[in-house]
Structure 1
Amino acid sequence: MGRIVALDYGKVRTGIAVTDELQIIASGLTTVDTKDLLNFLRNYVKEEKVERFVVGEPKQMNNLPSESEELIKPFLRTLEGVFPKIPVERQDERFTSKMAFQTMIDSGLKKQQRKNKALVDEISATIILQAYLNRKQ
């Protein structure tokens, strides 16, 4: 089995989370500048066996795509072109930022640490990945 890589894609930054090789545990990996994302993924795929990508799917409360989905569509086409043998799936990402922020509070991070948007993105990617794993069980 290979790892599953989840992406909380954003215009400026993208949070990244991965599973262990048995696809049991979702863990935050890092946050990268979105402009550097494909290079980061190329290097990661060279080092680790990746079975699939899971990309957050932003939706509105009425279940329609949010405006940021228009930013993600071109990236998805590029991702599938660069890694044609690695399937891409989507996972609803509603409330992940709020859940990530609450996780930071619950874990005792100080207010200054909670302002770290890169950490919020990484935790959001982890929440997206865990939701995907829960859905697939």
Structure 2
Amino acid sequence: MPRILAIDYGQKRTGIAVTDEMKIIASGLTTIPSETAIAFLTSYFQKEKVEKVIVGEPKQMNNEPSQSAAVIDTFVEKFKIAFPEIPVVRVDERFTSKMAFQTMIDSGLSKKQRQNKALIDEIAATIMLQDYLHTNSK
């Protein structure tokens, strides 16, 4: 069964999360350098079936696009060209990084471990995907 993949795309790093085959649980997959995202996804899609991709849409508190929106929009356009058969769903990613950091604290990770920005990005993608699954399971 195909999975759902979530991408927390950033200027430097990109966190990636994926569902199980039953689309019940979201799990962190990895964090990669953003410039390698299309190549990484090409390789991943050759091994795993993915029915859709969730990409964060950064917004400010007033619902206006944030500063990083243009970078992410450019990535989404490149994604659609590279993988036209895979639908992209944009979701609000406000607070996912803060929630990821709090999750790290709640999990008992040390201060040094919490400074791992790659882990924060992966957890943020996982939170975004789990929220999508929860919202769309009703």
TM class, shorter-chain normalised? over 0.9
Distance in structure 1 (CA, Å) of the matches to 2:125 and 2:47: 20
Q: Partners in 2 of 1:55 and 1:81 — Cα distance?
A: 15
Q: Which amino acid aligns with 1:129?
A: L
2:47 corresponding residue in structure 1: 47
Trace 1:10-21 onto structure 2 (pairs within 5 A): 10-21=10-21
Long gaps (5+) in structure 2? none
1:127 equivalent in structure 2: 127
1:73, 1:94 → 2: CA distance? 16
Q: Give the RMSD, CA atoms, in angstroms.
A: 0.6
Identity of aligned residues (%): 63
Q: Secondary structure at the match of 1:61?
A: coil
Do 1:91 and 1:131's aligned partners in 2 also have CA atoms closer than 8 Å? no
1:18-47 Cα shifts (integer Å, max 9, x gaps): 001111100000000001111110000000
- The alpha carbon displacement at 1:55 in A equals 0.2
- The unaligned stretches of length 5 or more in structure 1 are none
For residue 81 of structure 1, report the CA deviation from its aligned partner: 0.6
Distance of 1:101 and 1:59 partners within structure 2: 19
Q: Which residue of 2 aligns with 1:62?
A: 62
Distance 2:130 2:7 in 1: 12
Deviation, 1:73, is: 1.1
Report the equivalent of 1:27.
27
Counterpart of 2:7 in structure 1 is 7
How far residue 65 of structure 1 moved from its aligned partner, in angstroms, is 1.1
Structure-2-length-normalised TM-score: 0.97
The SS at the match of 2:104 is helix
Tell me the SS of whatever aligns to 1:126: helix
Q: Which residue of 2 aligns with 1:110?
A: 110
Aligned-partner residue type, residue 5 of structure 1: L
Which 4+ residue blocks in structure 1 deviate beyond 3 angstroms?
none
